[in-house]
């Protein structure tokens, strides 16, 4: 039976980059037997303008019914003054929590052709291929109580709560162990167990599960050391699993190791591997409408969708290979351009990937 993909282009460069990813999906449908149906809906600032809410009920309904969601990006300066409850970015939080997308997969893969774009020396990053699994729906970003209160002597105090239940730790840890089994069988759990009781529990729970995955080598690391190791010797990592806030920060460090934000996809999965797939970057209002945005992160998000939700690993591999081919040809959008390449725009890059898929 056909699987349903909901396409949510969003704001800024979102529609431009998603259009190229849709071309890739259409090519897989037409020429490689991919059995999917696509529907489009509004999300983000554009949805607020059209329907009064960044995540309209119709979009949420379609998202619930879909097997997978492909999202471009949301947000932009024109919506920054809105009440926080209806800002475009709220749509992302809404989709994640309403669909229980608790497992955020952020690969950091450095294409050899782009090793020079990293801020680290090529010998430190060449061949980097790691995956950060970030817990996405719990921890300090959601814990109660939270707020700003006024103390007796009139001084204000801000407070947040870092909470994790055993069941929340177990489900994200299992998700990470399974991913490690599909990769190099190494899992590093990152915490601050020497200072924070909630992450001491995190460490215990992850350790307790290790015997269920005897083929995965489990290690633990404090978050400050993990940040250091990511820039010292990132290739020591295969899969890393961590809390919401630590993952937020560490995955951005890992992203920068690869040189361009325009190359990195991500996935957010529920317990049944239904997922929302999106590039890690935002709506890039500074370049929106100019036809220069790099569509490769969005196209690589389609590859992740094929791998993790649609169970089509061979087609995922085809996309990865096609992206490698266009980089080998020297094609570069401005964000990854260096003097030996050929500068191309969004549409030309998408067309080149489709051509490379066919050949």
3-state SS of the chain: helix, strand, coil percent to 5?
Answer: 50, 20, 35
Judged by CB under 6 A, does residue 353 bind ligand NAD?
Answer: no
Q: What is the DSSP letter of 94?
A: H
Residue whose CB is less far from ligand NAD, 103 or 199: 103
Residue 283 binds ligand NAD (CB under 6 A): yes
Closest alpha carbon to 173 in 130, 134, 125, 224: 134
Rounded-to-integer distance, Cα 81 and Cα 101, Å: 28
> Counting Cβ atoms within 10 Å, is residue 61 exposed (0-12), middle (13-18) or buried (19+)?
exposed
CB 129 within 8 A of CB 94: no
CB 70 within 8 A of CB 305: yes
Residues 103, 241 contacting (CB under 8 angstroms): no
Using CB under 6 A, which residues numbered 313 to 332 contact ligand NAD? none
Nearer to ligand NAD, 128 or 349 (CB): 349
Which region, judged by CB under 6 A, interacts with ligand NAD, from 48-56, 193-201, 285-293, 349-357? 285-293
Instruction: CB nearer to ligand NAD: give 134 or 192.
Output: 134
Supply the minimum distance, in Å, between the C-beta of residue 46 and ligand NAD.
12
Q: Active-site residue among 192, 238, 270, 335?
A: 192
Question: Judged by CB under 6 A, which of 128, 248, 335, 349 binds ligand NAD?
Answer: 335
Of 169 and 250, CB closest to ligand NAD: 250
Q: Is 49 in the site for ligand NAD (CB under 6 A)?
A: no
- Helix axis angle for 197-209 and 166-182, nearest 10°, is 50
- Point out which residues pair with 132 in neighbouring strands: 106, 240
Active-site annotation holder among 208, 212, 224, 328: 224
Least distance to ligand NAD, CB of residue 22, Å: 16
Beta partners for residue 104, in sequence order: 134, 268
Q: Binders of ligand NAD among 295-314, rule CB under 6 A? A: 297
Site string (217-256) toward ligand NAD, x via CB under 6 A: ----------------------------------------
Tell me whether strands 36-40 and 331-332 are parallel, antiparallel or unpaired: unpaired
SS3 125: helix
The answer to whether residue 120 forms part of the interface with ligand NAD (CB under 6 A) is: no
Q: Does residue 4 sit in helix, strand or coil?
A: strand
Active-site residues, by number, are 141, 192, 224, 248, 252
Q: Which residues of this protein are in contact with ligand NAD, per CB under 6 A? A: 13, 17, 73-76, 89, 92, 261-262, 278, 281-287, 293-294, 297, 335
């Amino acid at each position: 039976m056909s699987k349903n993909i909901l396409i949510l282009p969003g704001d800024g460069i979102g529609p431009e980059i998603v259009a190229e990813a849709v071309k890739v999906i259409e090519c897989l449908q037409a020429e490689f037997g991919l059995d999917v149906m696509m529907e489009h809906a509004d999300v983000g600032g554009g949805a607020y303008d059209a329907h009064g809410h960044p995540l309209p009920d119709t979009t949420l309904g379609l998202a619930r019914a879909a097997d997978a969601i492909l999202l471009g990006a949301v947000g932009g300066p024109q919506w920054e003054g809105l009440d926080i409850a209806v800002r475009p970015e709220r749509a992302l939080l809404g989709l994640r929590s309403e669909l229980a997308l608790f497992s955020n997969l952020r690969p950091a893969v450095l294409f050899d052709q782009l090793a020079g774009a990293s801020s680290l020396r090529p010998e430190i990053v060449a061949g980097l291929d790691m995956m950060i699994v970030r817990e996405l729906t719990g921890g300090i970003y959601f814990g109660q109580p939270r707020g700003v209160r006024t103390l007796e002597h009139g001084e204000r105090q801000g407070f947040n709560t870092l909470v994790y239940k055993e069941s929340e730790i177990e489900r994200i840890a299992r998700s990470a162990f399974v991913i490690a089994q599909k990769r190099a069988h190494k899992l590093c759990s990152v915490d601050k167990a020497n200072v924070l009781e909630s992450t001491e529990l995190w460490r215990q729970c992850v350790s307790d599960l290790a015997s269920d995955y005897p083929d995965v080598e489990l290690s633990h690391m404090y978050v400050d050391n993990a940040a250091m190791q990511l820039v010292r010797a990132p290739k020591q990592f295969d899969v890393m699993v961590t809390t919401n806030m630590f993952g937020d920060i560490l995955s951005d460090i890992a992203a920068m190791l690869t040189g361009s934000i325009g190359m990195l996809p991500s996935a957010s999965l529920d317990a049944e591997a239904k997922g929302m797939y999106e590039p890690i970057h935002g709506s890039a209002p500074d370049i929106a409408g100019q036809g220069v945005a790099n569509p490769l992160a969005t196209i690589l998000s389609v590859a992740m969708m094929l791998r993790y939700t649609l169970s089509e690993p061979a087609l995922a591999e085809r996309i990865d290979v096609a992206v490698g081919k266009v980089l080998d040809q020297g094609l570069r959008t401005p964000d990854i351009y260096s003097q030996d390449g050929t500068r191309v725009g969004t549409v030309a890059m998408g067309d080149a990937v489709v051509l490379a898929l066919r050949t």
